[in-house]
Amino acid sequence: MTQAEATAAANPLADRWDGPAVDCDVQVQVGTIETLYPYLEKGWVDWIESTAFRVPPSLAINYPPRAGISMAPQWIPTDGPAAATRYEALRDHLLEPAGPEIAIINPYWGLDSLRHPELAASLARAINDWLIEQFLDRDPRLRGSVTIVHHDPAEAIREIERVGDHPGFVQVHLPVWSQAPWGRRLWHPLFKAIADRGLVATIHYGGVPDGPPTATGWPSYFIEHYAAATQMYLIQVVSIVAEGLFEAVPNLRITLNDCGFIWLPGLIWRLDKDWKGLRRDIPWVQRPPSEAIRQRLCVTALPLDDAPPEEIARAIDWLGSEAMVLYGSGYPRAKGEGLTALLDGVPEAMQSKVMSENARRHFNL
């Protein structure tokens, strides 16, 4: 594959969409631990060197280094640093030519698997400072995600307060596999801190739960873990609604990232149906769950289930809102074919909303 062909595969906007675009799912990677040394106190650098710590264990579990879910073949380097670790590569592959007007980047590095609280907090601070210096302050087209250590809510709130006012940050990155469902009351102060800074809480693929990553136990193979990830997004939405998170934090906005949306309309319908018969169980939910979901939650469209355009259009109609679906390229996994399928299924009058307008409203861009 030539460089031009590789770039087109990662960024199909020039060939398929000529209007404004906001890319809501771009991933960058720290690369090696040495990348963070300039942003860490010397004591932590010495500790890392003495213990031979290289990378959080969950990174390879959730994103096997050379698997297609981690990086498309055209971006796997034969030598040198990985493509998504450098601003120059992001600029050349995605932002230019004819790239998105704004790209929101997620620097997931698996900190959720570190149980050393001080080390994890220091690495989160280092990742945020690295992201600011190496990406956000270098290009006005870039917006970023605040990295936190979510299993220490007090420390997570301190980090949001430290960097959340930086104009480049628009969201806080949360893994879909959390230590407890995101609706639980222990997380409400964390979500309030996110909303108070005008940020969006974005739930993305990744994380390490305290229990098994499926509802019935531990799977045998990675493909079971990966293919069943949608159930965790479903469980998180149910938890957020039933535990009253939207009522507790009325200005909160949430994004579900990297999970598609075909599964969501059926869940919304079932939540409304069951709420009618069980509302006494959750009296704080005073209106049908569908209303809060449609007003406060957005979801990136890709990866898109392999459905014909008429079925995609049917799913969007059943979703009941033109404001919920967002475009995300998935770079460096390069889901270029997904954009074509999405635009073939989205009604023409709604395409500009999916590609740009919904994201600008949701993230206050």
pLDDT band at 13 (very low <50, low <70, confident <90, very high): confident
pLDDT band at 332 (very low <50, low <70, confident <90, very high): confident
Q: Where are the domains of the chain?
A: 3-362
What's the pLDDT at 244? Answer: 96
Helix or strand run (H / E) with residue 207 = strand 200-207
What's the pLDDT at 273? Answer: 96
Query: For 76-93, what is each residue's pLDDT tens digit?
Result: 766 666 668 889 989 988
Task: Say whether pLDDT at 287 is over 70.
Answer: yes
d(CA 204, CA 233): 9
Query: For 225-239, what is each residue's pLDDT tens digit?
Result: 888 888 999 999 999
Between these two residues, 339 and 316, which has the higher pLDDT value? 316
d(CA 346, CA 330): 19
For residue 258, the SS3 value is coil
What's the pLDDT at 272? Answer: 96
Between these two residues, 98 and 315, which has the higher pLDDT value? 315
pLDDT band at 124 (very low <50, low <70, confident <90, very high): very high
- If you average pLDDT over every residue of the chain, what do you get? 89
Task: Say whether pLDDT at 2 is over 60.
Answer: no
What's the pLDDT at 229? Answer: 85
Query: For 42-66, what is each residue's pLDDT tens digit?
Result: 999 999 999 988 888 888 777 777 6
Burial class (CB in 10 A: 0-12, 13-18, 19+), 263: middle
Fold observed for domain 3-362: TIM Barrel (3.20.20)
What one-character-per-residue DSSP string does 43-102 give? HHHHHHHHHT--S-HHHHHHS-TTSTTT--GGGS-SSSS-GGG-HHHHIIIIITTT--SE
- Low-confidence winner among 90-104, 183-197, 202-216, 292-306 (lowest mean pLDDT): 202-216
Q: The whole model's pTM is what?
A: 0.92
pLDDT band at 35 (very low <50, low <70, confident <90, very high): very high
- Low-confidence winner among 137-141, 152-156, 199-203, 314-318 (lowest mean pLDDT): 314-318
What's the pLDDT at 337? Answer: 58
Average pLDDT over residues 131-151: 96
What's the pLDDT at 227? Answer: 83
What's the pLDDT at 7? Answer: 53
